[in-house]
Copies of this chain bind each other. A is one copy, B any other.
Amino acid sequence: MHVFDVLGDPVRRRILELLAEGERASGEIVGIVGREFAISQPAISQHLKVLRESGFATVRAEAQRRLYALDPGPLRQVDAWLDHFRLFWDTKLDALETEIARGKRQRRVAARENDPHETRKAG
């Protein structure tokens, strides 16, 4: 399923917002999102499956619980696709600013990925 199809569903968007706050058990998500959208546990379980299989979320087991965490990869892809349009919607100056910031970020990310110690901070 394409990144944007995944994001097309409001339940999945809500789940992602929750996961942005931190790891959550399936049951917690069912509690919150199920109440907000009035849908069943299997419905949410299937949305979680979509999020797993499309790379938006990872899971780890802890006893019977399944703890879901956000994987930012696909969201970064969306951000990258928006680059097509930033030059359009920003003023030229804004765009330049944005591009400079992105470039800096990308260079740092590249540096991290080459670092065998996988350090969290990079200047």
Interface residues of A (CB under 8 A from B): 2, 4-5, 7-8, 10, 13, 16-17, 20, 70, 72, 75-76, 78-79, 81-82, 84-85, 87-91, 93-94, 97-98, 101, 104-105, 108, 120-123
Contact = CB atoms under 8 A, between A and B. Distances in A.
Copies of this chain in its oligomeric complex: 2
Contacts of A104: 94, 97
Nearest to A87: B20
Nearest to A9: B4
B94 A70 contact: no
B101 A88 contact: no
B75 A91 contact: no
A82 B75 contact: yes
